[in-house]
Amino acid sequence: MIGYGFMGAAHSQGWRVAPKFFDLPAEPEMAVLVGRNAEAAHEAAAKWGWGEVATDWREVIKREDIDIIDIVTPGDSHAEIAIAALEAGKHVMCEKPLANTVAEAEAMRDAAERAAANGVRSMVGFTYRRVPATTFARQLVAEGRLGEIRQIRAAYRQDWLMDAEGPMTWRLQKDRAGSGSLGDIGAHAVDLAEYITGLHLEKVSGLLETVVKERPLLGEGIGLSGTASSERGIVDVDDVALFSGRFTAADGAFSAIGSFEATRFATGRKNALTIEVSGSRGALAFDLERLNELQFYDATLPATEQGFRTILVTESDHPYLAPWWPAGHMLGYEHGFSHQVVDFVTAVSERTAPSPSFADGLHVQRVLDAVERSSDESGCWTPVG
């Protein structure tokens, strides 16, 4: 695993726990954690259960005993690491968004396709696809329970940047993160809306806004622990992203309209990824802050029986649930990362194509790029890609 921040902890939990609960076709060994800061990397490795530490990822991907590279670094290094690892014959899992630019994502997609011809697999980490309730929502749509999909509303709202004197981090720097709330959390909303419905965004109309344009720098370096200095840095990414979209079906025909919001200034919202899908025969709604529940509305029932009802997605017949706890014993945020490991290890072992692919990640990158271009052009409708 290359990187050891917030996502490093989440991915480590997935690698550590998945083999203990699921009957995997192969058992992953947490061999090497890579980080530029050797002391911090050693602390993380000891805490999370990695066998050894390295400071040069280029040397690690050359090793014969390494089969999989898991990339959890900021977006500015995704392309270089992933392409080198694929060319070295390593299977690659890469955190989202896939890259910082469309050009980088295209290069990664091309490298993945070349590697796939030699049996090398790759996957981008849109983990919320693997929350049992969202996977079950996709099944309901695929079974026709909602009928013709007409409208999609998706939002990802957080408030961790509310303090205008909160210090700069790498997530507020365009050269490191690519974009702000749009790419960091809006990418999840885009992918989840398309995953659940099976539709794809064709064009968008967007607005981006930076609410706080300067923040204090930390005395010990941006993004590291320390005290704020008197110096201030420029925030050059968006704090809020709002956009509309038109979806098409697999045959290219117009299918539905959608509205999206991604913000890190939604006072009181901590991690509220919500999606509501409305169809001709029913509707469903999901809220990540209540991730064991799915709201379902059956419009085919008599009027006297209609209304949203709560499905508690904890039964053993629900997706991913059988190896876990008895019904009603809830899962949490970290379980999606275990499910991600299950799917990726299974695909690698069975020589099948894992999903979401780097091509899927490229599509989301093109959506993000189209929203940004639309905002620059006063919100005009902009084709994806």
Helices (H) and strands (E) in the chain, counts: 11, 16
Please name the amino acid found at residue 193.
A
pLDDT at 228: 56
In order of 83, 111, 117, 314, 315, the CA distances from 114 in angstroms are 10, 5, 6, 40, 40
pLDDT at 221: 46
Kindly give the confidence (pLDDT) of every residue in the chain, 385 residues in length, as a single tens digit, with 9 standing for 90 and above.
999 999 999 999 999 999 999 999 999 999 999 999 999 999 999 999 999 999 999 999 999 999 999 999 999 999 999 999 999 999 999 999 999 999 999 999 999 999 999 999 999 999 999 999 999 999 999 999 999 999 999 999 999 999 999 999 999 999 999 999 999 999 999 999 999 999 999 999 999 999 999 999 986 544 444 555 679 999 999 999 999 999 999 888 888 999 999 999 999 999 999 999 999 999 999 999 999 999 999 999 999 999 999 999 999 999 999 999 999 999 999 999 999 999 999 999 999 999 999 999 999 999 999 999 999 999 999 999 8
pLDDT at 48: 97
pLDDT at 227: 58
Q: Are 294 and 286 in contact (CB under 8 A)?
A: yes
In order of 257, 261, 304, the CA distances from 153 in angstroms are 9, 9, 26
pLDDT at 174: 93
pLDDT at 224: 46
Q: What are the E-state strand segments in 35-134? A: 52-54, 68-71, 91-95, 122-125
Cα(261)–Cα(119) distance, integer angstroms: 38
Give the torsion sign (CA, 64, 91, 353, 141).
Answer: positive
Helix (H, G, I), strand (E, B) or coil at 197: helix
Please name the amino acid found at residue 290.
R
pLDDT at 153: 98
pTM over 0.85: yes
Cα(285)–Cα(266) distance, integer angstroms: 20
Cα(297)–Cα(265) distance, integer angstroms: 31
CA atoms within 13 A on the CB side of 383: 1
**What domains sit in the chain, N to C, each tagged with a CATH number?**
6-127 (3.40.50.720), 128-331 (3.30.360.10)
Q: Which long-range contacts (CB under 8 A, 24 or more apart) does 34-42 make?
A: 34/1, 34/2, 34/3, 34/60, 35/2, 35/3, 35/4, 40/4, 41/4
Q: Are 187 and 97 in contact (CB under 8 A)?
A: yes
For the stretch 229-260, pLDDT in tens is 679 999 999 999 999 999 999 888 888 999 99
